[in-house]
Amino acid sequence: MQWKNITDLNQISDIQNQTGYSLIFKHSTRCSVSMMAKKRFELDWEAIPENTSLYFLDLISYRDISAKIAETFQVHHESPQILLIKDGDCVLDASHSDISAEEVAEVINN
């Protein structure tokens, strides 16, 4: 699996309009907790179905996009944070040590 970088505000609308599941990982490149959460997530991401689109946001470089994600999907901004989107709605959000590829897979598979 591979991350698709979010670098443009228009990508948020694209994600919102997709059918099926998409995952957004909001990452602070200045935070060791965020780095550990990302590494732990990637070690287990084979549990996530392959047809899930995985998006990565460097929120230090793209603060405006991070704010738009929080507004669009009606979640409180945190970092690190994952949002699991299904058919345009956020069905799971988690941050810090609660970020888990297994939990994402469980939601998708049920």
Could you read off the pLDDT of 27-53 as tens digits, one per residue?
999 999 999 999 999 999 999 999 999
At residue 5, the pLDDT reads 98
Integer Cα distance of 53 and 3 in angstroms = 8
Distances (CA, A) of 90 to 7, 13, 30, 35: 20, 13, 26, 23
Query: Tokens for 98?
Result: 């609660």
Average pLDDT, the chain: 95
Residue 49 CA to its chain's centroid (Å): 15
Q: In the predicted model, what is the mean pLDDT of residues 69-84?
A: 94
Q: In the predicted model, what is the mean pLDDT of residues 91-110?
A: 95
Q: Are 36 and 97 in contact (CB under 8 A)?
A: no
pTM exceeds 0.85: yes
Domains of the chain (ranges; CATH) run 4-109 (3.40.30.10)
Q: Are 101 and 44 in contact (CB under 8 A)?
A: yes
Q: In the predicted model, what is the mean pLDDT of residues 70-93?
A: 95
Q: Are 19 and 51 in contact (CB under 8 A)?
A: no
DSSP E strands in the chain: the ranges are 4-5, 21-27, 53-58, 81-86, 89-95
